[in-house]
Structure 1
């Protein structure tokens, strides 16, 4: 057990601890965060714990259950807490396998008018045979509960049918979700059609995580159609490891040029290649593009893409974080990119160039960037063969008064 003034983390507790914990909530008016790791409180212990959570003095705001044994009866007890506790706003189950009957009971609590829960996380907690039924339950919650703003269903085998059921709730006018995580949920392009229709009507969604799903280019094209017809508030779009190629980059560029709210785009580990980046750069150069964070780590880029990036940096004053790690840019590509980094319009603050096939031959160009760019505060060159001479050139630049680098 570790303790801080407002948070407790318990490991390997058993049912006998339930009464003691209940007494804590009856008297302690400071505890706001409680986490259980690998506990077997059983039904009797959980029932006692929940009695404590319903006490007037209890101000617990976050309850997290990681790899715990939770039965339907225990979920029923938690549902009663949700309908009475006005403080609890965050409930998390991680790697805690829940039966469909358990989640049905929990959802009844979530639908109660008195439930004030804002964040629900069910990461890797749904059984494959129950996923579709659970999505129906959750859809009914989204229709009834206007307080829920974050839903994390990552690492669950929802599949396209599960997402179809879920979107029935997501599209409802009562749904106020701001963050949705469907990463590693066995989705294909069929899910993107449903999500696109949701994006077109949602007036609240700001963050969408769908990484590690085989969406493909067609799937992302569907998403982009939704984003272009959306209410214009999406800020964070995570499409890493989605089996993408250059074919999806033109519609993404159109989103960049038309959606001023989008400030973060992650495309890590997709084979978009130099052609794909060329298309993205067309979007980056548009005046309405407000993107601040672009992650292109392991995107099969070469030095040939650096001129397009350079041209984008000439005109884009909003980009702050650029990750090009694990791409074979090489020294010649880096030298070209440095011309863009030196331009007065470039306001980049963090640049990730780990394992980009760089040597000391490009360090002179990088040093000149450090001598002229007073915005850059982080430069990652790990995994490159810079040698002593290259590092020495960079160190000489670090002492220049213009250089504001903090992490190197």
Structure 2
């Protein structure tokens, strides 16, 4: 039988001492103020006179002098006395109940009442298995009651610290849920505890694994053989790639360099093509709708139009007329034109009839909730628009609600920028419902510089946990905080698509980093984490770095081999509270994490 988690506490006063032989007590053990046996004795440092502590304190409150010799004295002049040891050895009876026949010293009386006396009232909830029972009984009756108590909790026999009221729930827990339940390795049949199975899987000698050189040449592959882990050494002896692995790694590195150069050349080539395919028009450049049609007719390479300072008016009408009939222009940019509500109405009308535009850039146009209402109706029926930028348009929860209705119907939009607006928790709740839908195709979402707060992040996290399309999420300067990051981290444990998360300037501290590190241990897809301008110290950074590296090592050891470059994950920690020495210690021996600080 387990002992109570704490003993009953009984306060002992002077009146509780019933002395066995009061006549034999030395008169030196009596207080000269109360004329009774000392309770807790104190003596005055100067004159050595002794009194009960309570008595002398009360006397000094009236007169700062010794009651016997009148020597000057304060409470600070009081000190312990050796007489106290003699007092504690005086024999007393248990005075709590006449039925108790215990006899012992004063100092033992306290322990007798706390532990042994069968007549002391004891609360049932003092036992760890009865936390909700409020019944109080004598100690001699309490054990019998606890055996029949309706509030009795049963501890898991496998010692996992879980407790249950219901026996059926306990049996179900022991057989299906307990981390200490006995299981067998499905590969080698070794008996293990359930919580040991993951670690065992990394060393199981009969588990089928791939050759370490499976992807030594990246997309060109390598050795494709599979075998039991115990045969790894023998396989490497006969593997055709093993003798040349260093050479192949050099080739792979060279190929990666060439791919990088090709990427840079393609980017440069694209920039040159963009110059030929982009038309920049100022409002003063347009005189008639026919003039704009001719420009597009005789320049068939133009795919993008950047309109500068086209405010609502006759020239803006020319633009919308041309867009209604044009089937070539793919990108329309009105960044900073201040078209407001009127311009948004005309643009929405044009978009209803246009079947070629796939990128719509409307940043900094102040179209507000009403402008969003008209624009949303066009987006709702559009089958071509994939990218939408609505940053800095001064719309709030109402506009966000209208926009989300369109997003629920539109399955084409893949990227949307909603930064620098005025929506809050209610707007985020609508957006979260969009992300939950299986039809959602949004892979890039920018919510930066909005007053979302931790409550908004809580709503967003619900959608993120169920979303299967989002790859980039920007939450810079949205007041996430440690509490918001706790909600976000739980959703990251479930999310299997997010690759880049931006959380810069969000007042995140080490507590938030701890939440995030738990998620990073489980999440296998996130490869870029931006935590710039927060308050994370070396402790928080170390937790995240170790979690990411351990997650990658588990994946690597399990045979999920991928190109090494893709396994390296990046954390941006510029302008935090980390130190160079702390990060150097955290990254020592780390293979799969690249930390970027302000010094790099």
Same fold (TM over 0.5): yes
TM-score normalised by L of structure 2 = 0.50
Give the match for residue 418 of structure 2. Answer: 239
- Matching of residue 175 in structure 1 with residue 355 in structure 2: yes
Q: Report the Cα offset of residue 314 of structure 1.
A: 1.0
Return closer, same or farther for 1:169/1:385 CA change in 2, 3 Å cut-off.
Answer: same
TM-score normalised by L of structure 1 = 0.72
**Larger C-alpha radius of gyration, 1 or 2?**
2
Give the match for residue 298 of structure 1. Answer: 477
Return closer, same or farther for 1:367/1:117 CA change in 2, 3 Å cut-off.
Answer: closer
Return closer, same or farther for 1:383/1:407 CA change in 2, 3 Å cut-off.
Answer: closer
Q: Report the Cα offset of residue 115 of structure 1.
A: 4.3
Given that residues 273 and 301 in structure 1 are in contact (C-alpha distance below 8 angstroms), is that contact kept between their aligned partners in structure 2?
A: yes
1:123-142 matches, cutoff 5 A: 125-126=308-309, 128=311, 131-142=312-323
Pairwise CA RMSD of aligned residues? 2.4
Q: Which moved more, 1:296-305 or 1:257-266?
A: 257-266
Q: Report the Cα offset of residue 392 of structure 1.
A: 2.6
Q: Report the Cα offset of residue 272 of structure 1.
A: 0.3
Give the match for residue 395 of structure 1. Answer: 587
Return closer, same or farther for 1:114/1:363 CA change in 2, 3 Å cut-off.
Answer: closer
Given that residues 535 and 577 in structure 2 are in contact (C-alpha distance below 8 angstroms), is that contact kept between their aligned partners in structure 1?
A: yes
**Secondary structure class of the residue paired with 1:156:** coil
1:251-262 matches, cutoff 5 A: 251-258=430-437, 259-262=439-442
Q: Report the Cα offset of residue 388 of structure 1.
A: 4.0
Give the match for residue 499 of structure 2. Answer: 320
**Secondary structure class of the residue paired with 1:171:** helix
Which of 540, 550, 560 in structure 2 is aligned with 1:372?
550
**Secondary structure class of the residue paired with 1:368:** helix
**Secondary structure class of the residue paired with 1:346:** coil
Question: What is the number of residues matched between the two proteins?
Answer: 315
**Secondary structure class of the residue paired with 1:170:** helix
What CA deviation, in whole Å up to 9, does each residue of 1:8-42 have, x standing for no partner? xxxxxxxxxxxxxxxxxxxxxxx9988xxxxxxxx
**Secondary structure class of the residue paired with 2:287:** helix
Q: Which moved more, 1:132-141 or 1:313-322?
A: 132-141
Give the match for residue 310 of structure 1. Answer: 489
Return closer, same or farther for 1:329/1:142 CA change in 2, 3 Å cut-off.
Answer: same
Given that residues 266 and 296 in structure 1 are in contact (C-alpha distance below 8 angstroms), is that contact kept between their aligned partners in structure 2?
A: yes
Return closer, same or farther for 1:197/1:387 CA change in 2, 3 Å cut-off.
Answer: same
Q: Report the Cα offset of residue 376 of structure 1.
A: 5.0
CA–CA separation in structure 2 for the residues paired with 1:376 and 1:133: 54
CA–CA separation in structure 2 for the residues paired with 1:311 and 1:328: 19
Return closer, same or farther for 1:210/1:103 CA change in 2, 3 Å cut-off.
Answer: farther
Q: Report the Cα offset of residue 100 of structure 1.
A: 7.1
CA–CA separation in structure 1 for the residues paired with 2:548 and 2:288: 55
Which of 65, 73, 92 in structure 1 is aligned with 2:280?
92
Return closer, same or farther for 1:62/1:355 CA change in 2, 3 Å cut-off.
Answer: closer
- Matching of residue 273 in structure 1 with residue 433 in structure 2: no
CA–CA separation in structure 2 for the residues paired with 1:62 and 1:115: 13
Q: Report the Cα offset of residue 132 of structure 1.
A: 3.2
Return closer, same or farther for 1:292/1:233 CA change in 2, 3 Å cut-off.
Answer: same
CA–CA separation in structure 2 for the residues paired with 1:330 and 1:135: 49
Return closer, same or farther for 1:212/1:33 CA change in 2, 3 Å cut-off.
Answer: closer
Residue ranges of structure 2 left out of the alignment (5+ in a row): 1-264, 553-566
CA–CA separation in structure 2 for the residues paired with 1:262 and 1:32: 25
Larger relative contact order, structure 1 or 2 (CA cutoff 8 Å, min sep 6) = 1
Given that residues 314 and 346 in structure 1 are in contact (C-alpha distance below 8 angstroms), is that contact kept between their aligned partners in structure 2?
A: no
1:149-228 matches, cutoff 5 A: 149-172=330-353, 174-228=354-408
Given that residues 359 and 385 in structure 1 are in contact (C-alpha distance below 8 angstroms), is that contact kept between their aligned partners in structure 2?
A: yes
Given that residues 363 and 393 in structure 1 are in contact (C-alpha distance below 8 angstroms), is that contact kept between their aligned partners in structure 2?
A: no
- Matching of residue 360 in structure 1 with residue 522 in structure 2: no
Given that residues 408 and 440 in structure 2 are in contact (C-alpha distance below 8 angstroms), is that contact kept between their aligned partners in structure 1?
A: no
Given that residues 111 and 141 in structure 1 are in contact (C-alpha distance below 8 angstroms), is that contact kept between their aligned partners in structure 2?
A: no
Given that residues 238 and 265 in structure 1 are in contact (C-alpha distance below 8 angstroms), is that contact kept between their aligned partners in structure 2?
A: yes
Give the match for residue 349 of structure 1. Answer: 527
Q: Report the Cα offset of residue 341 of structure 1.
A: 0.7
Given that residues 132 and 165 in structure 1 are in contact (C-alpha distance below 8 angstroms), is that contact kept between their aligned partners in structure 2?
A: no
Given that residues 532 and 573 in structure 2 are in contact (C-alpha distance below 8 angstroms), is that contact kept between their aligned partners in structure 1?
A: yes
Residue ranges of structure 1 left out of the alignment (5+ in a row): 1-5, 7-30, 35-60, 64-87
CA–CA separation in structure 2 for the residues paired with 1:341 and 1:113: 54
Which of 284, 306, 312 in structure 2 is aligned with 1:121?
306
